[in-house]
Amino acid sequence: MEEPSLENVQQDKLEQLQLKLEGLRQKLAVMRWDQEHDQLNPAMKSKLQKLQEECERLERELGAHT
């Protein structure tokens, strides 16, 4: 059985990052709407901040690979 090539491994990683980023963006869109309508409690505001930071980190990581 052949080992996956480095190119295939990198492509798989990029696809996983893109899927994760897409999911984060969807969560962020909902949470930002909630924030705009004063629907977030302090714990959710903290979670929103962490998700925004994670989204930015993934965007930078994807940008470095393209």
DSSP 20-50: HHHHHHHHHHHHHHHHHTT---HHHHHHHHH
pTM across the whole model:
0.78
What pLDDT is recorded for position 3? 72
Q: d(Cα 66, Cα 21) in Å, to the nearest integer?
A: 15
Q: Tokens 């690979």 map to which residue?
A: 65
**Average confidence score pLDDT of the chain:** 91
Mean pLDDT of 39-61: 95
Q: Is the pLDDT score of 60 beyond 70?
A: yes
* pLDDT, tens digit, 9 for 90 and up, residues 3-22: 778 788 888 988 999 999 99
For residue 61 the two structure tokens come to: 């990581």
What pLDDT is recorded for position 35? 96
